[in-house]
Each structure stands twice: as structure tokens, then as C-alpha cells.
Amino acid sequence: MTDTSPPLGTVHGVGLGPGAADLMSVRADRLVRGARHLAFFRKKGRSGHARRLVEGMLHADVLEYPMDYPVTTEIAVTDPAYNERLSAFYADCTRHIATLAAAGEDVVVLCEGDPFFYGSFMHLHSRLKGQVPVAVVPGITGMSGAWTASDLPISWGDDVLTIATATMPEEELTRRIRDTDALVVMKIGRHMAKLRRAVATAGRTGEAWLVEHAAMPEQRVLRLKDAGDTAPYFAILLIHGQGRRP
């Protein structure tokens, strides 16, 4: 018996880079412009940063699938309900995208930064892998955009670079800050006060920079000591390494 089912489509997780359209890769640009099915994450009621980034690039008949997070900061990440709701959400998104791919349709999933670096696409990738073909297009990370905006190298020679999140417990965050040469802290948001204390306790306030909206029109680079009490979603803390150099 001849199999008449269409060949499977491919799900492309496309890294868009740190926030400027001209920092996308050539491959990302080609896939976005040629997409017939386009999926992207967003906070409910918002257009979504990834979707805004590709405005004006899309084919006229593109079919869009916005994926609205069921929860962001309304529930603590330690609450079991947080994982339960997100798990169900990612499962629903996976079913929709897998159905399209099973029907032979390619799907482009927009990813801020790099798809495999603190990105929501990772949760789709782990569920889709083995069901349908999945391809990942790497992108410039937000942290790379941040240290480039600071106009200073993040590491020299044998410097050890630590990447941490401000969501971790304060004692552990302090230890990580104290025990590394160079540092990137992501996911600051509502944890600014805790991050300030951790940096101060580690004795590194004088070395710390805050980069807001790296590579975007509203980009701002300032010393942590000069920053306000809150930070925007797109904010990254940097401590530059000072290691060996000729």
C-alpha cells in the first residue's frame, strides 16, 4: 500500500537576537519573511516583543498563532500551580504546532535572543522532538547585546564567566557574585532590591553595571549604584572580568 500522507513539515525555532531587526541572522530573516505559519509567545493583552520585532517583514497571507502565557508573575514560581498551568499551556501549544507539521506545514516559532538560552521555545522543543522535525536557528543573546552596549569586553584571558538569575535565593546569588571573575545576571524584574543587596554583600557594587533594553532604541547603560529601585523586563546586570591580557 502506498503512503499518500504528506511529508512532515518542520518546526523552526528562530532566534531573533537581542532586539534589533538588523541583528538577526540571514537564515532567520529568510525564514521569517517566507513563513506561512508563524507562532510567538506573548503576555496576554500585549502584542509581544518578538512579534513587534518582525513587523513589516511578514508575508501578506501569513497565519499567526499567538501563544498567550496563562501566568507570568501572578503566582510564585515555587507554587505547584505555576508549573501545572505552564505545563498544560505548553502541551496545548505543542499539540497545535505538531498538528500543522503533521499536515506538512512548516511553522516558524519566533524566539527572542537565542532559542536555547532561557527561552520558552525550549519547552516546545522537548515536547516536539521525536514527533516532527524541529530545527533551531541560533540568535545573538540578550547578554551579548548588553555587554556590547557597555562598550567593554565581558571577559579576558582565563576569566570565569558566571550567568545567574536574580530569582535564585539571596544567599546563593551572593555567593555566585562573590566567587566569579565576570558576571551576567538575568531575570531581574521585581528582584532588583535583592540583587542590590547581594552585589553589595559580595563587595562588588563599584564594578556592577545595569544595561536596560540592550540593542533597542531605548537602550540605557548605567552604573548599578545610579539605577533606580526597579528595573524593566529587559534589564541585565554585568560585572566585567579583569583577567590576564598581553
Q: Go through the domains of the chain in sequence order and give each one's CATH number.
A: 11-140 (3.40.1010.10), 143-239 (3.30.950.10)
Residue whose C-alpha cell reads 529568510 in the numeric block: 30
14, β-bridge pairs: 110, 137
User: What was the pLDDT predicted at 2?
Assistant: 60
User: What was the pLDDT predicted at 115?
Assistant: 98
User: What was the pLDDT predicted at 15?
Assistant: 98
Per-residue pLDDT of the chain in tens (246 residues, 90 and over written 9): 566 677 999 999 999 999 999 999 999 999 999 999 999 999 988 889 999 999 999 999 999 999 999 987 667 777 788 889 999 999 999 999 999 999 999 999 999 999 999 999 999 999 999 999 999 999 999 999 999 999 999 999 999 999 999 999 999 999 999 999 999 999 998 999 999 999 999 999 999 999 999 999 999 999 999 999 889 989 999 999 999 999
User: What was the pLDDT predicted at 37?
Assistant: 98
List, in order, residues 6 or more apart from 37 with CB less than 8 Å away: 62, 63, 65, 100, 105, 106, 107, 108
Cα-Cα-Cα-Cα dihedral sign, residues 229, 231, 191, 206? negative
